[in-house]
């Protein structure tokens, strides 16, 4: 899928088909994350690919807003370098966006997961003390009903201006 089309059509999925996600697809997704912009090119991330069903179920139980992990065929935990307090969150967020768009471009979808039990997940995934959990992204083939749902976006006139706030950008 062409880049602009992937950006403009990407949707969030909270339920996935049971079809397994190929490891090569997950490698492409994390490579997209690895190529995100990064302040001073520090690349303050680690990407942990998770495909084990038992681990995914345990993660789902540890994420109050991410129970969908329990039924996802795969996930990527995004870890941030705790020594990079100034930029790690921003850099990791850019990596997450790259991964979400890359996934969509190859027919997969995801949903950002927050609100998780950090200490328990750190133990479960053997996260080193130098890194913290930024988020976990479930990846899978979206169920057809979810794939067609469209989000409502604010009109351009409310969110885009030219030169100064309040100056409309005319089409």
Domain range list for the chain: 3-159
**Ranges assigned E (strand) in the chain:** 45-50, 74-81, 131-139
Residues ≥6 apart with Cβ < 8 Å to 6: 101, 102, 104, 105
Q: Look at residue 12 in the predicted model and tell me its pLDDT.
A: 85
Tell me: domain 3-159, CATH 3.40.109.10, correct? yes
Run means of pLDDT, 10 residues per run, the chain, 171 residues: 83 90 98 97 98 97 89 97 97 97 94 93 97 97 65 83 90 75
């Amino acid at each position: 899928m062409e880049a602009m089309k992937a950006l403009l059509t990407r949707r969030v999925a909270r339920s996935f088909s049971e079809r397994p996600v190929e490891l090569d697809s997950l490698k492409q997704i994390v490579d997209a994350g690895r190529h995100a912009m990064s302040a001073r090119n520090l690349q303050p991330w680690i990407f942990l690919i998770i495909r084990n069903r038992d681990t995914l179920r345990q993660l789902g139980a540890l994420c109050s807003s991410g129970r969908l992990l329990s039924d996802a065929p795969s996930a990527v935990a995004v870890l941030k370098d705790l020594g990079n307090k100034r930029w790690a969150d921003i850099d990791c967020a850019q990596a997450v966006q790259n991964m979400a768009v890359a996934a969509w471009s190859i027919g997969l979808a995801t949903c950002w997961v927050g609100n998780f039990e950090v200490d328990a997940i750190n133990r479960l995934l053997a996260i080193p003390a130098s890194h913290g959990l930024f988020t976990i992204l479930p990846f899978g083939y979206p169920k057809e009903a979810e794939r067609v749902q469209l989000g409502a976006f604010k009109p351009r006139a409310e969110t885009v201006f030219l030169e100064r706030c309040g100056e409309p950008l005319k089409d």
